[in-house]
Amino acid sequence: QVQLVESGGGLAQAGGSLRLSCTASGHSLSSLGMGWFRQAPGKDREYVAGINWSGDGTYYAESVKGRFVISKDNARDTGYLQMDNLNPEDTAMYYCAARPGTMIWLNVDKYDYWGRGTQVTVSS
């Protein structure tokens, strides 16, 4: 069983940056694709970014393209989400998710493993 633990959330000002981490245990991250999702109060969980198992393929939601960068360090079994130029609309609980396979999936129901989330709050 794969356990995922997110960290790095917190409070940032508009225009600021945060770096989220997602550490996996119970299974090597080298054979898993990873996604980051977020959920604001009263809204559905939405896709933010994804990376394939090897780390050489990524895909971003339009709302974060050019501001967020997803990466993974398979040797450390850790994935990252670098978030720059944050704005208040980025405020949400951020979740990492993982699944076996080579593709990047945008759908919540395609992921087998989830972390408990880390809160990101951006003030104006």
Q: Which residues pair with 51 in a beta bridge?
A: 34, 58
Three-state DSSP at 103 gives coil
What is the rounded distance in angstroms from the CA atom of residue 57 to the CA atom of residue 46? 20
The predicted-structure confidence for 65-82, as pLDDT tens digits, reads as follows: 999 999 999 999 999 999
Q: Strand pairing of 118-123 and 10-13? A: parallel
Q: What is the pLDDT confidence band of residue 103, given thresholds at 50, 70 and 90?
A: confident
Q: For 3-44, write each residue's pLDDT tens digit.
A: 999 999 999 999 999 999 999 999 888 889 999 999 999 999
pLDDT, position 102 = 81
